[in-house]
């Protein structure tokens, strides 16, 4: 009998990579998609369009984590062995614009799934997509499973709720419910408005003279960036371990947004030089044209300045470690973008 998994958030970056991983492992994968006026399945279309024989292994259902009855009915009907809750309004800056919806989906969404598990079958294993954003204004360095949280956005506050409700249900109802505390992870499938994708896409276009400028916010924040392909392996390993627990998943290396820009520029042989400070800081091309400007509108009401994790626990116990470093990540993202641009010709 194949194992079955239910993925909330299957159309997102991680949902797409996780689906591929589980299908390769022989799972039947059920994914929840939201009704949308425009098509939102582009990251999983190639999986779904596999020959007919494979379709019975990858099944999509309409649902929404803000709709408790759809969550309950899906879990009851599908009877999965494992549930991965990746569904979220995942953009930190947007969470300041839509705080109530973000809290409903990201915090209460987790509660709805956990509560359905208790009522339907407490043996179902549950993975909660936690975030390094929960550390926010960091209380110690590098961050581990023991570092206290200090969330700095409605998104991060919601994720802290989801983290603790997962622990509470584990302790109260003896559920196999786990938190992954994942640091930033990127890929060619990253959403277009996250900073790495925005930078790679724009610099590739600027190099080919298809775009003049890139506008960014705070380029001095530092992140621990990994590759999504590695991080979904950790999600799976977390649910295969003999007992439920909470796990930090990261690379342990840190770069600023500005360093990321410089590495991408170097990778595509785009000469850039920086001048000015603060909102007046700009990057110039070899022929002295402004190619990057800083805009106030991309700054957040409160920022997370400095994230760097320590995933020794996952390394030691789960035998997980990242395979791809930042150079591999940038290479993958650049290759994807350049191919897309050449197809547009």
Residues that bind ligand F7E (CB under 6 A): 90, 92-93, 131-133, 183-184, 193-195, 198, 216-219, 221, 223, 257, 298, 300, 303
Task: Work out how close the CB of 331 gets to ligand NAP at its nearest, in angstroms, rounded to a whole number.
Answer: 19
Binding status of residue 12 toward ligand NAP by CB under 6 A: yes
| Alpha helices, H only, 98-193 | 99-103, 109-120, 154-173
For CA atoms 199, 200, 206, 211, the dihedral sign is negative
The entry of ligand F7E, ligand NAP, none near residue 36 (CB within 5 to 8 angstroms by kind) is ligand NAP
The entry of ligand NAP, ligand F7E, none near residue 195 (CB within 5 to 8 angstroms by kind) is ligand F7E
Q: What is the DSSP string of 13-37?
A: HHHHHHHHHHHHTT-EEEEEE---S
Torsion of CA 162, 149, 91, 343, to 10 degrees: -100
Task: Work out how close the CB of 201 gets to ligand NAP at its nearest, in angstroms, rounded to a whole number.
Answer: 15
Contacting ligand NAP (CB under 6 A), which of 19, 90, 254, 306?
90
Q: Which two tokens stand for residue 155?
A: 């998104």
C-alpha count within 13 angstroms, C-beta hemisphere, residue 99: 7
Q: How far apart are the first and last CA of the chain?
A: 47
Contacting ligand NAP (CB under 6 A), which of 75, 160, 182, 333?
182
* Residue with smallest beta-carbon separation from ligand NAP: 12
The entry of ligand F7E, ligand NAP, none near residue 136 (CB within 5 to 8 angstroms by kind) is none
What's the rounded Cα separation, in Å, for the pair 223 and 307? 5
Q: Kindly indicate which of the ranges 88-96, 119-127, 289-297, 308-316 contains the residues binding ligand NAP, using the contact rule CB under 6 A.
A: 88-96
Lay out the site mask for ligand NAP across 104-133 (x = CB under 6 A, - = otherwise).
Answer: -x-----------------------x-x--
CB crowding 180-215: b at 16 or more within 10 Å, else e = bbbbbbbbbbbeeebbbbbbbbbbbbbbeeeeeebe
- Size, binding site for ligand NAP by CB under 6 A: 27
Q: What is the DSSP string of 287-321?
A: TS-EEEEE-GGGS-SS---B--B--HHIIIII---
Sequence-distant (6+) residues with CB within 8 A of 109 are 8, 65, 66, 71, 85, 87, 88, 162
Contacting ligand NAP (CB under 6 A), which of 40, 139, 140, 312?
40
Q: Quick check: 38 and 50 in contact, CB under 8 A? A: no
Binding status of residue 205 toward ligand NAP by CB under 6 A: no
Count of other CB atoms within 10 angstroms of residue 127: 25
Task: Work out how close the CB of 132 gets to ligand NAP at its nearest, in angstroms, rounded to a whole number.
Answer: 6
Binding status of residue 15 toward ligand NAP by CB under 6 A: yes
Q: Kindly indicate which of the ranges 4-12, 72-80, 200-208, 279-287 contains the residues binding ligand NAP, using the contact rule CB under 6 A.
A: 4-12
The entry of ligand F7E, ligand NAP, none near residue 221 (CB within 5 to 8 angstroms by kind) is ligand F7E
Q: Quick check: 178 and 166 in contact, CB under 8 A? A: yes
Binding status of residue 166 toward ligand NAP by CB under 6 A: no
User: What does the binding site for ligand NAP look like in residue numbers (CB under 6 A)?
Assistant: 8-15, 32, 34, 36, 40, 64-66, 86-90, 105, 129, 131, 182, 184-185, 191
């Amino acid at each position: 009998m194949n194992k079955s998994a239910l993925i909330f958030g299957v159309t997102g970056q991680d949902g797409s990579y996780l689906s591929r991983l589980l299908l390769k492992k022989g799972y039947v994968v059920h994914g929840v998609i939201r009704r949308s006026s425009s098509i939102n399945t582009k990251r999983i279309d190639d999986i779904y369009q596999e020959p007919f024989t494979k379709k019975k292994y990858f099944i999509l259902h309409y649902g929404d984590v803000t709709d408790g009855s759809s969550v309950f009915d899906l879990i009851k009907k599908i009877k999965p062995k494992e549930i991965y809750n990746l569904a979220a309004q995942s953009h930190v800056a947007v969470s300041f614009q839509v705080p109530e919806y973000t809290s409903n989906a990201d915090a209460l969404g987790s509660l709805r799934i956990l509560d359905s598990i208790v009522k339907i079958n407490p043996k179902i294993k549950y993975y909660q997509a936690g975030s390094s954003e929960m550390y926010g204004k960091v209380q110690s360095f590098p961050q581990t499973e023991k570092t206290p949280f200090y969330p700095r956005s409605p998104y991060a506050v919601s994720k802290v709720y989801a983290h603790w409700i997962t622990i509470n249900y584990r302790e109260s109802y003896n559920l196999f419910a786990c938190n992954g505390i994942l640091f930033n992870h990127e890929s060619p499938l990253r959403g277009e408005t996250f900073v790495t994708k925005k930078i790679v896409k724009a610099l590739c276009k600027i190099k080919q003279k298809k775009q003049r400028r890139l506008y960014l916010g705070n380029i001095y924040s530092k992140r621990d960036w990994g590759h999504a392909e590695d991080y979904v392996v950790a999600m799976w390993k977390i649910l295969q371990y003999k007992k439920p627990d909470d796990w930090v998943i990261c690379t342990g290396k840190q770069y600023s947004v500005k360093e990321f820009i410089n590495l991408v520029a170097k990778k595509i042989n785009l000469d850039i030089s920086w001048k000015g400070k603060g909102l007046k800081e700009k990057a110039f091309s070899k022929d002295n044209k402004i190619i990057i400007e800083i805009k106030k509108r991309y700054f957040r009401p409160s920022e997370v300045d400095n994230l760097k994790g320590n995933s020794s626990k996952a390394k030691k116990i789960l035998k997980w470690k990242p395979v791809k470093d930042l150079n591999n990540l940038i290479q993958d993202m650049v290759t994807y973008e350049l191919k897309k641009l050449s197809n547009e010709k």
